[in-house]
Each structure stands twice: as structure tokens, then as C-alpha cells.
């Protein structure tokens, strides 16, 4: 009996984490196609590097929009519907980005209008990323038993990193043995089109999973909620959990600031710090960083894959420890490791001694992030907000996260032109501040039900 319940929970989690895998896949697919897009569009049309930069990062605009919209869709139509919508957007964006000439343009004839259409398709995919990045961890958090919730939500981060690793290999496999002209003309299209496969799988499997019991209870569909809870817990526990869930809702509609500003501020700052420590600089610009160390193009791609494997390994460490050590200690430990790694990179840059030492410090930094701030922030965002405002609050936090991502990623080249050492020192300082923030402001959430966690935020109001 217990094994069947575990299998059911595992199935729901696996399907939801495909949203995370597509999140990683979509954001990283551009790394293999970026050079070809520059040749196909920017250089052939004599456009500036600024236009190319905006093209490379255009999906992030969609991510911000998707983060904002996720609150409305997940609250109004449900977690499952929102994930189905995200899957459709992923699929449509993959095919559209691969063949932006569809219906309106002639194949093989780049133009400014075609470039605009390509960016539209990338923004559509970005909206899918924004929706999935907010709702996948919420879905998992709302179906997971408290004692393994951290581990299961952390699997979403594993899926994100695994999606990035998969697309690195897919891009490499498409380009391997081909001429540069073929890659610049055709190969980049296959890279984007490849995302349609996991998107279609995600869409198909979503029809086999239910809505979350907490969303169903919010819609007064108690019978269906109890039916799902009974597949997760024994009969007595299922009824007790449903009673707790129903108590967390009252006749008033949940207002975003109903539980005070502090919970919203903490959620938003967790999201901002997750980006301001500079992780996406390390992920998006890894090949360029390694090339600046003197590595050849092939070697830099290989070093990126090594870094991707390290990321996967240390995300697994977080999955195995988040429900034992707790959220707060992992975040502080990770901040200490990130501080050491970033200041190490900064020191190498100041000494103009870029080499194997830089690679080691980057690996220390990314490993520290992947065992802490990568998965644990998603865990906290999925569980810290009360039932009535969870959809809206997560939407706000995720939108802030993508906005911070866009800011950090877009300012990195400009900061590097000024000073590499100071750039990496800035991320090191942010890592220190992130540790202090967690130590002073973030409560421990390990082992508590989502309804029990509401009392953490109710106490100040009754004081």
C-alpha cells in the first residue's frame, strides 16, 4: 500500500519536473545557436551588437511576463491548466524559433522583419519558462508530504540543470562533423526544433495527472481533493490534511498583503539574491569565460560540460540533505562557498592570472550555488506563502527573479569592460549579503505542513 502511494507521488513529481527540464532546456538552447544567429541575422543585415544582444536575451522578457501572469492563471484556472499552457507555449516557440519564416516570409532570406518574428517566438517560449518556473515547484510543493517536500521540490532544480546539460549535448551532437556554413544556415534551426520533443512529452503526460488538492479545496471541490489526498496519505491523515487546508481558507478572497509585507519582502529578496550572486553569468557566459582563459573553442565547450556535470552532482547533494539539514543552514553554507569562489575568481582577474585556478574557483562557486541557492530558493518559494495568496506571491517573486536575471546578465559585458576583478568582487559581496539576509530574516520551514507554516506569518499580526 505504502509503495503504491510512493509511486503515485513519484509519478506526479516526475511530470511536474518536466516543466523544470524545459525551463533549463529553453534558457540554454541559445548558447549553441548564438553564434549562428549573429551570422544569419546581425552580420548579414549589418545590425549592431546591441541588436544581437537583445535577440539573445529576448526570451528573458517573456520569462518576466510569464512570471507575472503565472499568479493570475494558477489562481484563476489552476496549477495543472497553467502547466498545460506552458507546455503549449514551449512547443509553439520551439517550432517557430526553428522556422520563423512560417507563412509570412521566404526561407533563407533574412530580414529585420524576420528577426522581429524570431524574437516574438523566443518571447513566447520565455512566457512558458516564466509560467513553468513559478508553477512547477508550487505543484510539487502542494502534493508532497511535509517530510519529503524539500527533496521533491529540489528535484525541479535538478531537472532545470539536467535540461541545460541535455541541450549542451544536443547542440554539440547537431553541430558535430558539420561545416560552419551548414550550422549557420540550418544547424541552429535543428537546435531550437529539438525542444519540441520534450515539450510534446510534457504536454501529453500532464493529461494523466490531477490538479493539486489545495487548489481543488480552494475551489470547494473537497471530494476530489480528498480523493487525491487519499492516494498520498492514509485515510485518517488525508481527512486531517483536508481539514487543515480548509481551515486555511476563509470567506474572504486572499489579498497579497493579508499576511503582512514581511513575507512578500522575504520572498522577493530571496529571488533577487539568487540572481545577484551572479549565477547566470557563470551559466550563460561559461564558454566565453573559458575562452578568455585561453581555451580553444572545443575545449571551452568541454569545460562547460564538466561544469554542467558538477552542477548536477551538487544538486543531488542538495536533494539528499535539504530535509535533513534544513533550508536555512544549506543557504548559509552555500553563500560561504559562493563568496570564496567569486573572490577567488576576482583575485585571479586582478592578478591577470587567468588559468586553471579560475576554473577551480568557478567550479567551487557553481557547486556551492547548486547545493544551496539553486534548489532551496525554489523550495522556500513553493512552501513559505500561505494557501490563499500562494499563486500571487510566487508570481511576484518569480517576476522579480527574472527581472534581476535580466539585469545581471545584460550588465555583465559592460561591467567586464570596466574591470573583471571588480565585477566578480561585486558578486562576492552579494554572496556575503545573501548569507546575512538568510541568517537574520529567513525562517526555517523544514518538516512543517504548508498550513502549519502559515502560523509563522500569523504570529506578528496577533502580537
The DSSP result for 32-101, as a single string, is HHHHHHIIIIIITTT--HHHHHHHHTHHHHHHHHHHHHHHHHHHHT-HHHHHHHHHHHHHHHHHHHH-TT
Say yes or no to pLDDT of 48 above 90.
no
> And the C-alpha cell for 14?
516526475
Clarify whether residues 202 and 326 are in a common domain: no
Whether the model pTM is above 0.85: no
* pLDDT-derived band at 304, boundaries 50, 70, 90: low
pLDDT at 460: 46
Domains in the chain, number: 2
Say yes or no to pLDDT of 416 above 80.
no
Say yes or no to pLDDT of 296 above 60.
no
Q: For residue 36, is it within any domain?
A: yes
Q: For residue 166, is it within any domain?
A: yes
> And the C-alpha cell for 341?
569562489
Clarify whether residues 171 and 318 are in a common domain: no
pLDDT at 437: 95
Q: For residue 250, is it within any domain?
A: no
pLDDT at 360: 83
Q: How far apart are CA 270 and CA 274, in angstroms?
A: 6
User: What b-and-e string marks burial along 50-62, b requiring 16 or more CB atoms within 10 Å of the CB?
Assistant: ebbbebbbbbbbb
* Residue after which a domain boundary falls, among 188, 209, 230: 209
Clarify whether residues 337 and 459 are in a common domain: yes
* pLDDT-derived band at 461, boundaries 50, 70, 90: very low
pLDDT at 251: 47
Reported as a single tens digit per residue, the pLDDT across 232-247 is: 988 888 888 888 888 7
Reported as a single tens digit per residue, the pLDDT across 58-92 is: 888 999 899 899 989 998 999 999 999 999 999 99
Lowest-confidence region among 23-32, 63-72, 86-95, 287-296: 287-296
Clarify whether residues 204 and 305 are in a common domain: no
Mean pLDDT of 317-338: 90
Reported as a single tens digit per residue, the pLDDT across 361-397 is: 888 998 999 899 988 898 888 888 887 778 888 888 9
Radius of gyration of the chain (CA): 22
Q: For residue 228, is it within any domain?
A: no
Say yes or no to pLDDT of 426 above 60.
yes
398 or 304, higher pLDDT? 398
Considering only CA atoms, which of 154, 159, 136, 23 is closest in space to residue 79? 136
Q: For residue 286, is it within any domain?
A: yes
Say yes or no to pLDDT of 273 above 90.
yes
Clarify whether residues 450 and 365 are in a common domain: yes
Clarify whether residues 196 and 302 are in a common domain: no
Clarify whether residues 292 and 192 are in a common domain: no
Q: How far apart are CA 336 and CA 334, in angstroms?
A: 5
Clarify whether residues 313 and 446 are in a common domain: yes
* pLDDT-derived band at 257, boundaries 50, 70, 90: low
Say yes or no to pLDDT of 323 above 80.
yes
- What is the extent of the structural domain holding 29? 1-209
* pLDDT-derived band at 341, boundaries 50, 70, 90: very high
Give CA angle at 71 (65, 77), nearest 5°: 115
* pLDDT-derived band at 295, boundaries 50, 70, 90: low
Within 13 Å of residue 250, how many CA atoms lie on the same side as its CB? 5
Mean pLDDT of 430-452: 86
The mean pLDDT of the chain is: 85
Clarify whether residues 284 and 387 are in a common domain: yes
pLDDT at 453: 67
Reported as a single tens digit per residue, the pLDDT across 154-207 is: 888 889 888 988 888 888 888 888 888 888 889 999 999 999 999 999 999 999
Clarify whether residues 292 and 415 are in a common domain: yes
* pLDDT-derived band at 457, boundaries 50, 70, 90: low
Clarify whether residues 28 and 169 are in a common domain: yes
Which of 190-204, 215-229, 407-421 is the most confident on average?
190-204
Reported as a single tens digit per residue, the pLDDT across 105-140 is: 887 788 899 999 999 999 999 999 999 988 999 999
Please write down the HEC assignment for all residues of the chain.
CHHHHHHHHHHHHHHHHHHHHHHHHHHHHHHHHHHHHHHHHHHCCCCCHHHHHHHHCHHHHHHHHHHHHHHHHHHHCCHHHHHHHHHHHHHHHHHHHHCCCCCCCCCCCCCHHHHHHHHHHHHHHHHHHHHHHHHHHHHHHHHCCHHHHHHHHHHHHHHHHHHHHHHHHHHHHHHCCCCHHHHHHHHHHHHHHCCHHHHHHHHHHHCCCCCCHHHHHHCCCHHHHHHHHHHHCCHHHHHHHHHHHHHHCCCCCCCCCCCCHHHHHHHHHHHHHHHHCCHHHHHHCHHHHHHHCCCCHHHHHHHHHHHHHHHHHHHHHHHHHCCCCCHHHHHHHHHHHHHHHHHHHHHHHHCCCCCHHHHHHHHHHHHHHHCCHHHHHHHHHHHCCCHHHHHHHHHHHHHHHHHHHHHHHHHHHHHHHHCHHHHHHHHHHHHHHHHHHHHHHCCCCCCCCHHHHHHHHHHHHHC
Q: For residue 253, is it within any domain?
A: no
pLDDT at 369: 93
Clarify whether residues 321 and 204 are in a common domain: no
> For residue 284, what is the domain's CATH number?
1.20.1250.20
Amino acid at each position: 500500500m505504502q509503495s503504491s502511494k510512493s509511486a503515485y507521488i513519484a509519478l506526479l513529481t516526475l511530470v511536474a519536473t518536466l516543466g523544470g527540464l524545459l525551463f533549463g532546456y529553453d534558457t540554454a538552447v541559445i548558447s549553441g545557436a548564438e553564434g549562428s544567429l549573429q551570422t544569419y541575422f546581425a552580420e548579414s543585415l549589418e545590425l549592431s551588437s546591441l541588436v544581437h544582444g537583445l535577440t539573445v536575451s529576448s526570451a528573458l522578457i517573456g520569462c518576466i511576463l510569464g512570471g507575472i501572469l503565472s499568479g493570475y492563471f494558477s489562481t484563476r484556472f489552476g496549477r495543472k491548466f497553467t502547466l498545460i499552457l506552458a507546455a503549449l507555449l514551449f512547443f509553439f516557440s520551439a517550432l517557430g524559433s526553428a522556422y520563423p519564416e512560417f507563412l509570412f516570409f521566404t526561407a533563407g532570406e533574412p530580414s529585420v522583419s524576420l528577426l522581429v518574428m524570431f524574437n516574438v517566438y523566443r518571447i513566447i517560449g520565455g512566457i512558458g519558462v516564466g509560467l513553468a518556473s513559478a508553477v512547477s515547484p508550487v505543484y510539487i510543493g502542494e502534493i508532497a508530504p511535509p517530510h519529503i517536500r524539500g527533496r521533491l521540490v529540489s528535484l525541479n532544480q535538478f531537472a532545470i540543470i539536467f535540461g541545460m546539460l541535455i541541450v549542451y549535448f544536443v547542440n554539440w551532437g547537431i553541430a558535430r562533423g558539420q561545416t560552419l556554413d551548414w550550422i549557420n544556415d540550418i544547424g541552429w534551426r535543428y537546435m531550437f526544433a529539438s525542444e519540441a520533443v520534450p515539450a510534446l512529452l510534457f504536454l501529453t503526460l500532464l493529461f494523466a495527472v490531477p490538479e493539486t488538492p489545495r487548489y481543488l479545496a480552494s475551489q470547494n471541490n473537497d471530494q476530489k481533493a480528498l480523493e487525491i489526498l487519499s492516494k498520498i496519505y492514509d485515510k485518517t491523515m488525508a481527512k486531517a490534511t483536508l481539514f487543515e487546508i480548509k481551515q486555511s481558507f476563509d470567506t474572504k478572497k486572499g489579498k497579497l498583503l493579508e499576511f503582512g509585507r514581511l513575507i512578500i519582502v522575504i520572498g522577493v529578496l530571496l529571488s533577487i539574491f539568487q540572481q545577484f550572486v551572479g549565477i547566470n553569468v557563470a551559466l550563460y557566459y561559461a564558454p566565453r569565460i573559458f575562452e578568455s582563459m585561453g581555451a580553444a573553442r572545443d575545449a571551452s565547450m568541454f569545460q562547460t560540460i564538466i561544469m554542467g556535470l558538477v552542477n548536477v552532482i551538487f544538486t543531488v547533494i542538495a536533494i539528499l540533505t535539504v530535509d535533513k539539514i534544513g533550508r536555512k543552514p544549506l543557504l548559509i553554507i552555500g553563500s560561504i562557498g559562493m563568496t570564496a569562489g567569486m573572490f577567488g575568481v576576482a583575485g585571479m582577474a586582478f592578478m591577470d592570472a587567468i588559468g586553471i585556478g579560475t576554473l577551480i574557483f568557478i567550479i567551487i562557486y557553481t557547486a556551492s550555488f547548486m547545493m544551496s541557492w539553486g534548489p532551496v530558493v525554489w523550495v522556500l518559494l513553493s512552501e513559505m506563502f500561505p494557501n490563499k495568496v500562494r499563486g500571487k506571491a510566487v508570481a511576484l517573486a518569480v517576476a522579480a527573479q527574472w527581472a534581476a536575471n535580466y539585469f545581471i546578465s545584460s550588465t555583465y559585458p559592460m561591467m567586464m569592460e570596466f574591470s573583471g576583478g571588480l565585477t566578480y568582487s561585486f558578486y562576492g559581496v552579494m554572496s556575503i549579503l545573501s548569507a546575512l539576509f538568510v541568517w537574520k530574516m529567513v525562517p526555517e520551514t523544514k518538516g512543517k505542513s504548508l498550513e502549519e507554516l502559515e502560523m509563522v506569518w500569523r504570529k506578528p499580526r496577533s502580537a
